[in-house]
Amino acid sequence: MHLNEPRAEHIKRIQERYRQADKRTKTSILTEFCLSWGVDRKYAIKLLQGKRGLPGKKGGRKSKYDQRLIAHLLSLWNSMERIHPKRMKAALPLWIEFYRHPEFNEDLKRQLLAMSASTISRFIKQGRSQCRGISLTKRTKFFKYRIPLTNLNEKIVKIGHVAADTVAHCGDNIAGRFVWSLTLTDRITGWTNNRAMPEKTGKAVRKAMSCIEQELPFQIKSIQTDCGNEFLNYTVMRYFGNRPAPVIMSRSRPYQKNDNAVVEQKNYTHVRELFGYERIGDTSLCDYMNMIYQEFWNPLNNFFLPQMQITTKERIGSRIKKTYDVPQTPFERLKKCGQISEERIAQLELQMKSLNPFALKGALDAKLHYFFRVLLKGRSEQNVA
């Protein structure tokens, strides 16, 4: 090797001699080359045979999927509210028929539907370059003796056993009036409805519950809440108790959010991801928020966004291994439970067929844009005043 000679020129100079040499000579050339450049023997063989080092050529197996899918996956992922890849894999057949893009052809569609959840996750990571809430739950001392604690060992097998909680849209200041959101979710199917309230009182909760019940595809059999005074009061107790089939009320233990984990999770995915942690002090915006919940947000989640539920939990040393079921939308779980009349299922299927998830998402974004514009305008006017 000549002094300060680049490796590429050295390879080019001895390549032809190496190819025409006998086995013993090749061994000598390889040994000298490996010692000179500090490379592995197998790698040196490929270099001298011209099989490595070509400019612009990537090593390894050729990619199975078109790289153009990254942009399409990101678009779909954002439209699906950035759900988990396993949920996204289950949602793709529902959404793909409505997806329109001039460069999205049948071949890309076939590849997209063939992707596994882990591949979807990797493609999304390639295309990609939180704020804690405040607990405003006030415990009541008297009503906690009237309403029993939830039996955490009880296995729920029928729909209609729901969990409820409230979320404060107070920003970082709990003073004054601000909007609250009520979240109610079925513990079996994950069917969720939300309502905005101008205050956190028993009267406001009763009114919001009444509106939600009119839209639920099932009857409420029991309701689990926390120990907040918006639930543990005479107004709400009478509302659930004074009916032909009284609703059984139960409460979680104080300061134990995991007791009511089903709805606590929905507080984030169905409220915080929609309206964020902004302070909504103008209670007149409740009607507009409820329109967003009823017409866009709840249908999008209940019909088109699959959810995963834990089937088993196993402790392995200090870790807990969780096993999840196949991602399904709340509507799919509702149909499979066999506890809803065929007439009601047919009504829901007609409603679903009348909806386009991309149209829902587009309209939702437009409504949210207008909502936050009004919210910021009202805030700036208050600051000027």
Our measurement of the distance from residue 40's CA atom to the centroid of its chain's CA atoms, rounded to an integer in Å, reads 47
Residue listed under structure tokens 């415990």? 139
Given a cut of 70, the residues of the chain with pLDDT beneath it are 1-5, 52-60, 129-146, 152-153, 380-385
- C-beta of residue 79 within 8 angstroms of C-beta of residue 357: yes
The confidence score (pLDDT) of residue 293 equals: 97
Give φ, ψ of 282 to 5 degrees. Answer: -85, 100
Residue 312, helix vs strand vs coil:
strand
Note the pLDDT tens digit of each residue in 71-100. 999 999 989 988 999 999 999 999 999 998
Tell me the β-bridge partners of 167: 181
The dihedral through the CA atoms of 338, 240, 347, 99 has a sign that is: negative
Dihedral angle at the C-alpha atoms of 82, 85, 86, 92, nearest 10 degrees?
80
Residue listed under structure tokens 């709840």? 298
- C-beta of residue 70 within 8 angstroms of C-beta of residue 88: no
Residue listed under structure tokens 């050339």? 29
Q: Give 113-117 contacts, CB < 8 A, sequence gap 24+.
A: 115/65, 115/69, 115/89, 116/89, 117/85, 117/86, 117/88, 117/89
User: What string of DSSP letters covers 262-296?
Assistant: HHHHHIIIIIIHHHTT-B---GGGHHHHHHHIIII
Instruction: Determine if the pTM surpasses 0.85.
Output: no
Closest CA to 378 of 179, 205, 204, 199: 179
Our measurement of the distance from residue 340's CA atom to the centroid of its chain's CA atoms, rounded to an integer in Å, reads 27
Q: Which two tokens stand for residue 204?
A: 């406001």
**What is the distance between the alpha carbons of residues 196 and 354, in angstroms, rounded to a whole number?**
26
Q: Which two tokens stand for residue 149?
A: 């604690």
Tell me the β-bridge partners of 312: 323
Note the pLDDT tens digit of each residue in 323-378. 999 999 999 999 998 899 999 999 999 999 999 999 999 999 999 999 999 998 87
**What is the distance between the alpha carbons of residues 201 and 203, in angstroms, rounded to a whole number?**
5
Q: Which two tokens stand for residue 215?
A: 């839209």
Q: Where are the beta strands (DSSP E) in the chain?
A: 161-168, 180-186, 192-197, 222-225, 248-251, 310-316, 319-324
